[in-house]
Amino acid sequence: MIIDFHTHSHASDGALAPAALLAEALAAGVEQFALTDHDTVAGYRALLEGEALPAGFHLLPGTELSSLWSGVGVHVVGLGMDIEHPALRAGLARLDNARRERAELIAERLAKRGMPGALAGAQAEAGDSQIGRPHFAAWMVAQGHVADANQAFDKYLGAGKPGDVKTCWPHMAEATGWIVAAGGVAVLAHPLKYKMTRVKLKRCLKDFMAAGGSAMEVYSGRQTREQTRALCEIVNEFGLLASAGSDFHAHWEYGPRLGFDAADLPMEVDLLTAERLGVV
Ligand code: AMP
Ligand code: MN
Ligand code: MN
Ligand code: MN
């Protein structure tokens, strides 16, 4: 069975419209799918209003919430939640505000480094999308401040750089709580991206579980089989559900493809599926 429970559309920082992304997922053979845009469910809402889905295909409600744990920006994917639940709606509204405030701070910091006008520039890049650092990166490339988006992150926006403003995010436990209150499963996203030691990751997982988190991604985009195996061992050790998602944003040469075949799991795990979530 092919699943993909972590993807982005242009409702956040992905390149494709929600419907175009869904069509590509279907073409890639994905049978169970979640659109998990950063801090919004707008793209998922658009899919619900769009064309009917093929029989047997499962579209799960999803989002990817920005949060902070012990000074690290960690992402919590929510799956299968009631998107109208007041706790989730209030949480998403808060994150929406946080993103706007953060954009102003990022722009101030870039202005001090000889790049004035970044706020209006990034807002124009974002349009109706949830504004994020990739929109600043796109503007910086267009202005000729950097050669490409990678350089924008390496020099100005990535972890530890001036444009890496994290203070506005809610604590991981709070973001997790919103998803759980709304009846969803909270998933710790792409654990390898935080570059934590194994000991620190396990400490993070303990706090995550105490807050109601019940799953972790064992597969995220390009990853070696050995990395997937190590993450499977951790979910089994902690009694967590295992989730899998490409974290697809756009087609590019080195980027991940849509879909993960459950048959490729290196060991037995309690795999999160639509059936397991009760979304059938
Ligand atoms: P934000 O949501 O504003 O915190 O921005 C984080 C997003 O930037 C991630 O979800 C990625 O899509 C993107 N990103 C992170 N690092 C890089 C990088 N080195 N190059 C390009 N995009 C990146
Ligand atoms: Mn992103
Ligand atoms: Mn993420
Ligand atoms: Mn993501």
The DSSP 8-state label assigned to residue 153 in this structure reads I
**CA 45 centroid distance within chain:** 17
Distance 37 CA to ligand 3 centre (A): 9
Instruction: Check residue 254 and give its pLDDT.
Output: 83
Closest ligand 1 atom to 132 CA: 3
Cα torsion 212, 262, 32, 218: sign = positive
| CATH for 121 | 1.10.150.650
Q: pLDDT of 245-268, one tens digit each?
A: 999 999 988 899 999 999 999 999
Q: pLDDT of 21-43, one tens digit each?
A: 999 999 999 999 999 999 999 99
Domain region containing 143: 99-157
Distances (CA, A) of 16 to 133, 138, 178, 182, 230: 17, 16, 27, 27, 32
Determine the residue of 153, 155, 166 to mutate for testing ligand 1's pocket, defined as the one with the most ligand atoms within 8 A of the Cβ atom: 153
Closest ligand 1 atom to 133 CA: 3
Q: pLDDT of 148-186, one tens digit each?
A: 999 999 999 999 999 999 889 999 999 999 999 999 999
Closest ligand 1 atom to 12 CA: 2
Counting the structural domains of the chain, the total is: 1
Residue 130 lies in a domain: yes
Mean confidence (pLDDT) of the chain: 97
Residue 20 lies in a domain: no
Residue 267 lies in a domain: no
Distance 107 CA to ligand 4 centre (A): 23
Residue 257 lies in a domain: no
Q: pLDDT of 91-112, one tens digit each?
A: 999 999 999 999 999 999 999 9
Distance 113 CA to ligand 4 centre (A): 28
Residue 165 lies in a domain: no
| Long-range pairs of 202-206 with CB within 8 A, sequence gap ≥ 24 | 202/234, 202/238, 203/70, 204/69, 204/70, 204/72, 204/74, 204/172, 205/234, 205/238, 205/240
Q: Residue with the nearest Cα to atom 5 of ligand 1?
A: 133
Residue 108 lies in a domain: yes
Determine the residue of 36, 37, 133 to mutate for testing ligand 1's pocket, defined as the one with the most ligand atoms within 8 A of the Cβ atom: 133
Q: pLDDT of 225-243, one tens digit each?
A: 999 999 999 999 999 999 9
Residue 14 lies in a domain: no
Instruction: Check residue 280 and give its pLDDT.
Output: 55
pLDDT at 279 over 80: no
**CA 231 centroid distance within chain:** 18
**Which residues lie below 8 Å from residue 29, measured CB to CB, with a gap of 6+?**
2, 259
Tokens (6 digits) for 96: 């929406």
Helical ranges in 52-168 per DSSP H: 86-112, 118-126, 133-143, 149-152
Distance 210 CA to ligand 2 centre (A): 26
Q: Residue 8: what residue type?
A: H
**CA 216 centroid distance within chain:** 13
Determine the residue of 8, 13, 68, 169 to mutate for testing ligand 1's pocket, defined as the one with the most ligand atoms within 8 A of the Cβ atom: 13
Residue 120 lies in a domain: yes
Distance 133 CA to ligand 1 centre (A): 6
Strand order in the sheet with 185-188: 62-69, 72-79, 185-188, 215-220, 241-245
Ligand 1 pocket, residues with Cβ under 6 angstroms: 13, 38, 132-134, 149-150, 153, 158, 249
User: Given pLDDT bands bounded at 50, 70 and 90, which one contains residue 278?
Assistant: confident
**Which residues lie below 8 Å from residue 239, measured CB to CB, with a gap of 6+?**
none
Closest ligand 1 atom to 135 CA: 3
Q: pLDDT of 53-105, one tens digit each?
A: 999 999 999 999 999 999 999 999 999 999 999 999 999 999 999 999 999 99
Distance 223 CA to ligand 4 centre (A): 15
Q: Which of 64, 162, 47 is nearest to 107 (CA)?
A: 162
- Cα separation, 110 vs 113, in Å, equals 5
